[in-house]
Structure 1
């Protein structure tokens, strides 16, 4: 049984991470110096590298502890765990490079550092994935369970039970309800009234008490929490106003007051923004270099098939509702910007050129937006930007439309890889955009890019 040993498991994770970092060091050393034996003599001895490795490994554990990599993660998504591992690696490498700069060590192999980071990431993520899957399998079979007592057998309590039953991998088991008015709640057992809480906590094994009471009895919350804390039992509150909150509300402090941010946006965190920006710059530079022959060929094709400029600039609304000029290869006849800014493209649109029709169908007209990414106007992945004329319309018709402007717009997005491109529902697109914004991780971005490539660039809804 693992139940009740979560602290031990946390310590075990730290020990295992440290041991696997030793393995990563050995593998990186082997790949860099043993495989290339002729180059070994021109670098520092292994003992020096091992010293720098220990500094990195200790920094990894310390920073991981500070950013809560080692907290119990029964309910944490694996993508978030991977994101934290990436953050820890970046911070730890910064610490190591700072130390190397201070002691003026410049002879360390950059290829070794790259291999060290890569192997460390691969090993730690792989073993953690298998451990997480093993624990989830154990919990589904009834092992490593935590027992939950729910206060309130009304609609909020029922909603909690439904979520609990839908996620058996969390290993949470409801022992029953306490409610002052209801006598039964379907399959769940009513153990008594709220006043019976101290007796229940004393006589039953309870790991967590979930308060699922309406706000009309808010006056009881303080006493309930005091009773639970006296018994050493964790308390969670399901707010009575959860229907008006998004999937992941964020709590923070304003002075002495706790404040609920109605919408938690991971990219509001500085580290996440920097990580995404670095990824955007590297990816867009690589994309421009790799596709440069294709870009030149398309530019020549646009110039030869119709008079006018090669690139088409159009005002779009981006991050924080600021406007910018988005670049595309011109796919229509040269015309006043007023017409293109206020009209939708329709099927068999007479404004398109023959070559432009091909570009739009294959999404090749979008490739100049990699330069928008380099400028910082756009990201590789994000909600697609719209023209100001239509933004003013949609924000009145769709209440949540403007939420998409909390992040940089993207060349591709979650809505687009789910088939919502071109002439499709704006409401559905916004729901997918919000889902992306609230659940962003770097792995989510990579997943969307991969789906974009696999699904292909041809868009049957693009006119």
Structure 2
């Protein structure tokens, strides 16, 4: 039954997306020409005829990004990020299409508005549909029935996490094991030994099989997978070494042999990297223009507060462990040129000027890093870069510390908007940095920037 439901859902999504595309074009045309009094050289009918080309391409793009697949395994943030990326590609396609059609009278603003409106409406439709499905699943409808093959610490944790969230719509038929084991009071039935799997699958009450074998049981794996394939039931591996795997493992292929990539970096993808860099360049340029009066006043304030240079340069370690000079407004008195490379700044540092304390508290001292972003040394969002002395120190003390250098460092980041900035736990910062690196989406960057604007400017525990 679940397969039939999935087909219906995919058809609904495809039709819904097509309808939203049409509606978005109508709204974009209406918004742009709302107060236009003259006659149209190209009317709405032409824009709607363009949709005959656009909707099939959008269908292909959305399928490429798996936007017509089940949401059970996807986060909402990830899905909305893919919608934004899809529309970015879709708008580029429309401009290319217009170029080949040699149609110069089509309003470019209408097309841009179309992309924004379509992103918004598609995101709203996905949020609404998720809420409807979750309510249905919570009431026992559209459930996916799972069978656990193997009972151990990992499968027990999987069971606990799934049962803690009924909105996922999962129900456990039971578990298979060599013998009945103590499940720690969990309400899951013992369904028999591994040999009973073929007969259980024939009853057609199981939608998916979760295989979670211990090392000494791996000899059974081939027979279990073969039984699932013969019955046409999807099987999933939940290996005992999950603690060593990222949340989103990626599998490479070398001469037909699969290799599990322990660290999948979304920003290694050329399109993702391009979108992020485009955002960095555009937003940093706009920010430099908007904040130019603040930059000028701060420069004057730094110069009047104490003798020395206005801009302070400090060596930091960036992407691929390459050093670069990070810019800040100077907030301390000029002293020993090397002392700040091996000392950790604190809130009551006596080297700080009164004006310096103010600009650090409001994070104004960070604004020159927008130049670092334009140069490509940094990004708007990413792990905060550290000084060489502390990189060498923390790499020996904190597991996974060096993974932060897989991406460009940022002016702000996931750790900072979650409160881990300044003189706080390095371990917690690294956890946040690794989460960001492995789960990056374009929308996550936007979310972090908004959180920075609304709650991240005032910094009670300033970091050097």
With over 3 angstroms needed to count, the CA separation of the structure-2 counterparts of 1:227 and 1:378, relative to structure 1, is same
CA distance in structure 1 between the partners assigned to 2:358 and 2:152 by the alignment: 58
Of 137, 145, 148, the residue aligned with 2:146 is 148
Give the Å deviation of 1:49. 2.1
Q: Deviations for 1:396-427, whole angstroms, at most 9, x for unmatched residues?
A: 11121111111111111111122211111111
Separation in structure 2 between the aligned mates of residue 375 and residue 336 of structure 1, nearest angstrom: 28
Q: Distance in 2 between matches of 1:184 and 1:131?
A: 39
How far does residue 95 in structure 1 lie from its aligned partner after superposition?
A: 1.9
Could you tell me how far apart the structure 1 residues matched to 2:20 and 2:359 are? 49
Contact 1:136 1:171 survives alignment (8 Å): yes
- Aligned residue-pair number: 461
SS state at 2:4 partner: coil
* Cα pair distance change 1:40/1:332, threshold 3 Å: farther
Check whether the contact 2:415–2:421 (CA below 8 A) recurs between aligned residues: yes
Q: Which residue of 2 aligns with 1:246?
A: 246
In the alignment, which residue of structure 2 is the partner of 1:67?
A: 65
C-alpha contact (below 8 Å) 1:151/1:194 kept by paired residues? yes
Q: Is the 8 A contact 1:310 1:330 kept in 2?
A: yes
Distance 2:315 2:61 in 1: 43
What do residues 434-455 of structure 1 show as CA deviations (whole Å, max 9, x unaligned)? 1222222222222222222222
Distance 1:183 1:28 in 2: 61
**Residue in structure 1 matched with residue 177 of structure 2 by the alignment:** 179
Matched with 1:37 is 36
Aligned partner of 2:333 in structure 1 is 333
Partner of 2:205, secondary structure, is: coil
- Unpaired runs of 5+ residues, structure 1, are none
Which sections of structure 2, spanning at least 5 residues, go unmatched?
none
- Corresponding residue for residue 313 of structure 2: 313
CA contact (8 A) 1:417 1:448 kept: yes
Instruction: Sort the Cα spacing of 1:327 and 1:40 in 2 relative to 1 into closer, same or farther, 3 A.
Output: farther
Show CA shifts across 1:335-387 (max 9, x none): 34322222222343232222112112221100111111111111111111100
1:78 pairs with one of 63, 69, 76: 76
Cα deviations across residues 287-318 of structure 1 (Å, max 9, x unaligned)?
Answer: 11111101100011111222221111111111
Describe how 1:92-171 pairs up with structure 2 within 5 A.
92-171=90-169
* Secondary structure of the structure 2 residue equivalent to 1:38: coil
- Contact 1:341/1:387 (8 A) holds in 2: yes
| Alignment-derived partner of residue 366 in structure 2 | 366
Question: Following the alignment from structure 2 to structure 1, what is the Cα–Cα distance between the partners of residues 346 and 182?
Answer: 58
Whole-angstrom distance in 2 between the partners of 1:204 and 1:107 = 58
Deviation at 1:184, TM superposition (A): 5.2
Contact 1:156 1:213 in 2 (8 A): no
Q: For 1:366-405, what aligned pairs fall within 5 Å after superposition?
A: 366-405=366-405
TM-score, normalised relative to structure 2: 0.95
State the 1:44 CA deviation: 2.0
Other structure's SS at 1:274 match? helix
Q: Is the 8 A contact 2:5 2:142 kept in 1?
A: no
Greater mean deviation of Cα atoms: 441-450 or 342-351 = 342-351
1:199, CA displacement in angstroms? 0.8
Distance 1:401 1:237 in 2: 29
Distance 2:301 2:39 in 1: 51
TM-score normalised to structure 1 length: 0.95
Could you say what secondary structure the match of 1:337 adopts?
A: coil
Q: Specify the alignment match of 1:413 in structure 2.
A: 413
SS at match of 1:458: coil
Runs of 4+ in 1 over 6 A off after TM superposition: none
